[in-house]
Amino acid sequence: MKRIKEHPILGKEEKRKKIKIVVNGKNIFAYKGETIAAALIANGYRDFRYTHRFNLPRGFFCGVGQCTDCSMIVNGVPNIRTCVTRVEEGMIIETQYGYGDKDEKNERS
Amino acid sequence: MREVELLVVGAGPAGLGAAIEASRYGVKVLLVDDKDKPGGQLFKQIHKFFGSKEHLAGTRGFDIGLHLLKEADSQGVEISLQTKVLGIMEKGIISLLVEEKEMKLLKAKRIVLATGGVEKALSFPGWTLPGVMSAGAAQTLINIERVLPGERILMVGSGNVGLIISYQLLQAGADVVGIVEAAPSITGYLVHAGKVMRAGIPIYTSHTIKEVRGKKSVEEAVITTLDKRWNIIEGTEKTVSADTVCISVGLNPNGQLASLAGCEFKFFPELGGFLPLHDDNMESTKKGIYIAGDLSGIEEANSALDEGRLAGISVAASLGYIDSNRFAKLKEDYWDRLNKLRGGPFGYKRSIAKKRILLSSQQKEMRDQERDCIELEENTKLKNYKSIPSLKEFQEFPGYPSLSRIKKGAVACIECIQEIPCDPCVAACPFKAININPYITDLPYLDENKCKGCGVCIASCPGQAIFVLNYNYSSEKAAISFPYEYLPYPKIGGKAVGVNRKGEPVAEVEIVKVDKRANFDKTTVITIACDKKCINQIRFIERIKDDA
């Protein structure tokens, strides 16, 4: 999806520091201070995790850390709510399969 | 263990209001919030707020947020962010989780819970697909993160939240393909509906979303017509191409902590469902625990702020910082402000429900219930609109100038026909030509002889419902001025398609003025020249799409 460069009320996009994050092994750029979810959506990612029983995709839903649909594996830790966690330089982000066990990932992907 | 006089939970408008007022009278306050920034949902509200002067009406939500943070700072309120309240135990002992790692215990003499509301979800086949999200989540993305959630968005729900966020999605550069509403009429304010309709967004009343389809994320949505009993009419399915579906079907009070603390709850559908009972000091059934804002009933930011302030002074009084006479006076003022905000046909149900809350918290029999219902029916003369009303209807209201006055030259035309709590236009007019009397929910009345058609009122109106009509712009042309908050701006001398209140093209027009005055606060006023006969039809132009 797109970033909003200019806005009639909010004005021009503020200059923010660009940082690198790694999403499923691929380097992408994010802005310092933004949430992981925002960085991913801006880069076209929408399916953040797949459910344990039916392997169905889930993504950004409530945006306030309540629903846990946007959980991913961040720096090796599963169940991180990406909508309320901010990106950091070099952060490693992975799609979460089920509860985030390594075995589960190998089975599915 | 650290001890404070007052712990306020939640740094949105209600929590800030409570913390500011309690501090003002000398109470030592700690304000905590689980997020890493204060302000609750205020900083994503980029529209101008309704209300009166005391509520800074006409100011954009994020500016009100800044104002409150400044006030909190100058009153010496201590704010602790990323601080989650895990438990409220006996004797005012509270356990906190700081930055997801450190546990702390705290003792507080009083607690104000201002935990806000939670958006309701709506389940239908496909509702868990990525791309289906709450409207509030989409609003956070566009206005805080500055990222579009999608390119073609379907909004479910035509309440004020659905209408305002649809408008903001357009401002952010997305396409809103439509707004689906299960009720037979638009449920939010008509002025909010007017903004999106003149921008060409259809509102499908008596419709619901039946299904969302897509492989890994939303690709299309199926909407369908509902009958009078809200049942799906088979065979009316329409497939809409969309990559995002936003759900705005109301909120529930966020009562987890209040429930944990042992407050007594009751069901009030007009206010969003189960909520803690409270008295007229905003104190819950649990002594020393006060509540305010959306937790005590889903309303809007102004009421939340005033309820918070009321809770703040109640705490200050209960701790002996305000004497009883002064407190009685202050309390009366806040109730007066709250009652005014809850006036008019939109607020009436809420104001009755609030009365019931006060009665039940006093353990009184609710004998008045039946009488209230009759009273309610008599007072809620809320006319329902499926769409934007006809010109004839607008002309019946006191803000629309007479035909003879229009022919005399520039005059304001106020298309505000619902009694909502809002009055910035009155203060904006330098000629005192607009009156709202005696209640803030009364309709604006235009004194057409005093009006000079200067147009200052256009940008002051949070509902964007004021236009200036100049019949005598030239010998052949009339001019119409209206507010415009999209990018890019049209260019002077350029042509555009003039549209009516529903966004339907009427005629080609010429842009003659683009007024970006600083005190209009980002609301640009565009003036177009058109055929004189279009003066009562054209209210906007087709938005200019940025191809670059």
Q: Is A22 an interface residue toward B (CB < 8 Å)?
A: no
Distance from CA of B174 to the nearest CA of A (A): 9
Return d(Cα A38, Cα A16) in angstroms, integer. 14
Per-residue pLDDT 10s for chain B (548 aa) are: 999 999 999 999 999 999 999 999 999 999 999 999 999 999 999 999 999 988 899 999 999 999 999 999 999 999 999 999 999 998 899 999 999 899 999 999 999 999 999 999 999 999 999 999 999 999 999 999 999 999 999 999 999 999 999 999 999 999 999 999 999 999 999 999 999 999 999 999 999 999 999 999 999 999 999 999 999 999 999 999 999 999 999 999 999 999 999 999 999 999 999 999 999 999 999 999 999 999 999 999 999 999 999 999 999 999 999 999 999 999 999 999 999 999 888 998 899 899 889 887 666 555 556 566 666 666 666 788 999 999 999 999 999 999 999 999 999 999 999 999 999 999 999 999 999 988 999 999 999 999 999 999 999 999 999 999 999 999 999 999 999 999 999 999 999 999 999 999 999 999 999 999 999 999 999 999 999 999 999 999 999 886 54
Distance from CA of B76 to the nearest CA of A (A): 27
Q: Looking at chain A from residue 65 to 104, which residues have their Cβ under 8 Å from any Cβ of chain B?
A: 65-66, 69, 83-84, 86
> What's the average model confidence in pLDDT over A53-67?
96
Q: According to the model, what pLDDT value does residue B368 have?
A: 58
Q: Is A12 an interface residue toward B (CB < 8 Å)?
A: no
Among all chains, which residue has been given the structure tokens 């209408």?
A: B163
Among all chains, which residue has been given the structure tokens 């088979």?
A: B234
Q: Do B487 and A8 touch (CB under 8 A)?
A: yes
3-state secondary structure B41-109: CHHHCCCECCECHHHCCCCEHHHHHHHHHHHHHHCCCEEECCEEEEEECHHHEEEEEECCCEEEEEEEE
Closest CA to A84 of B84, B266, B211: B84
Q: Do B485 and A8 touch (CB under 8 A)?
A: yes
CB-closest option in B133, B146, B524 to A3: B146
- Mutate which of A3, A4, A83 to disrupt the B interface (most B C-beta within 10 Å)? A4
pLDDT value at A63 more than 60 = yes
Residue B224, amino acid: T
3-state secondary structure B157-177: CCCHHHHHHHHHHHHHCCEEE
Tell me how crowded residue A76 is: count the other CB atoms within 10 A of its CB: 10
In a domain, A1, yes or no: no
* Contacts with A70 from chain B: Cβ below 8 Å: none
Residue B430, amino acid: P
Residue B458, amino acid: I
Q: Is B149 an interface residue toward A (CB < 8 Å)?
A: yes
B171 phi, psi to nearest 5 deg: -60, -30
Closest residue on chain B to A34 (Cα): B145
A32 phi, psi to nearest 5 deg: -55, 135
Q: Specify the length of chain A in residues.
A: 109
Distance from CA of B43 to the nearest CA of A (A): 11
Distance from CA of B543 to the nearest CA of A (A): 13
In a domain, A9, yes or no: no
Q: Which helix (H) or strand (E) holds B316?
A: helix B301-318
Q: Can you name the residues that pair with B483 across neighbouring β-strands? A: B525
Alpha helix ranges (H) inside B342-440: 344-361, 369-379, 391-395, 403-408, 424-428
In a domain, A67, yes or no: yes
In a domain, A39, yes or no: yes
Return d(Cα B38, Cα B83) in angstroms, integer. 11
- Cα-based distances in Å from B160 to B26, B89, B167, B507: 38, 38, 10, 31
Q: According to the model, what pLDDT value does residue B384 have?
A: 87
Q: Looking at chain B from residue 473 to 492, which residues have their Cβ under 8 Å from any Cβ of chain A?
A: 485-487
Among all chains, which residue has been given the structure tokens 């492989």?
A: B215
Return d(Cα B127, Cα B18) in angstroms, integer. 38
Q: Which helix (H) or strand (E) holds B309?
A: helix B301-318
Residue B113 and residue B7 in contact, taking contact as beta carbons nearer than 8 Å: no
What does pTM read for this prediction? 0.96
In a domain, A7, yes or no: no
Residue B444 and residue B434 in contact, taking contact as beta carbons nearer than 8 Å: yes
pLDDT value at A56 more than 90 = yes
Among all chains, which residue has been given the structure tokens 């499908």?
A: B204
Tell me how crowded residue B325 is: count the other CB atoms within 10 A of its CB: 8
In order, the DSSP letters of A28-95 are EEEETTSBHHHHHHHTT----EE-TTT--EE---SSSSSS-TTEEEETTEEEEETTSSB--TT-EEEP
Closest CA to A101 of A77, A80, A81: A77
Tens of pLDDT, residue by residue over A70-84, are: 999 999 999 999 999
In a domain, A78, yes or no: yes
Q: Which two tokens stand for residue B519?
A: 């005190």
Q: Is A57 an interface residue toward B (CB < 8 Å)?
A: yes
Return d(Cα B335, Cα B337) in angstroms, integer. 5
- Mean pLDDT score across all residues of chain A: 94
Q: Under 8 Å CB-to-CB from A107, ≥6 apart: which residues?
A: A97
- Mutate which of B60, B140, B145, B521 to disrupt the A interface (most A C-beta within 10 Å)? B145
Q: Which two tokens stand for residue B301?
A: 């930011």
Domain count along chain A? 1
What residue numbers bound the domain in which A83 lies? 15-103
Q: According to the model, what pLDDT value does residue B325 have?
A: 97
B262 phi, psi to nearest 5 deg: 90, 20
Give me the half-sphere count of Cα atoms (radius 13 Å) on the Cβ side of residue A74.
Answer: 22
Q: What domains appear along chain B, each with residue ranges and CATH number?
A: 2-116+252-371 (3.50.50.60), 121-249 (3.50.50.60), 391-541 (no CATH)
In a domain, A109, yes or no: no
Return d(Cα B179, Cα B172) in angstroms, integer. 17
Closest CA to B155 of B61, B48, B249, B252: B249
The angle that helices B344-361 and B324-341 make with each other, rounded to 10 degrees, is 140
Q: According to the model, what pLDDT value does residue B548 have?
A: 43
Q: Which two tokens stand for residue B276?
A: 């803690």
Q: Which two tokens stand for residue B304?
A: 């939340």
Q: According to the model, what pLDDT value does residue B366 have?
A: 56
In a domain, A84, yes or no: yes
- Cα-based distances in Å from B28 to B2, B10, B31: 12, 16, 10
pLDDT value at A104 more than 90 = no
* Contacts with B123 from chain A: Cβ below 8 Å: none
SS3 A101: coil
- Cα-based distances in Å from B282 to B89, B111, B289, B306, B361: 20, 11, 9, 11, 10
CATH number at residue A23: 3.10.20.440
- Cα-based distances in Å from B429 to B57, B419, B426: 15, 20, 6
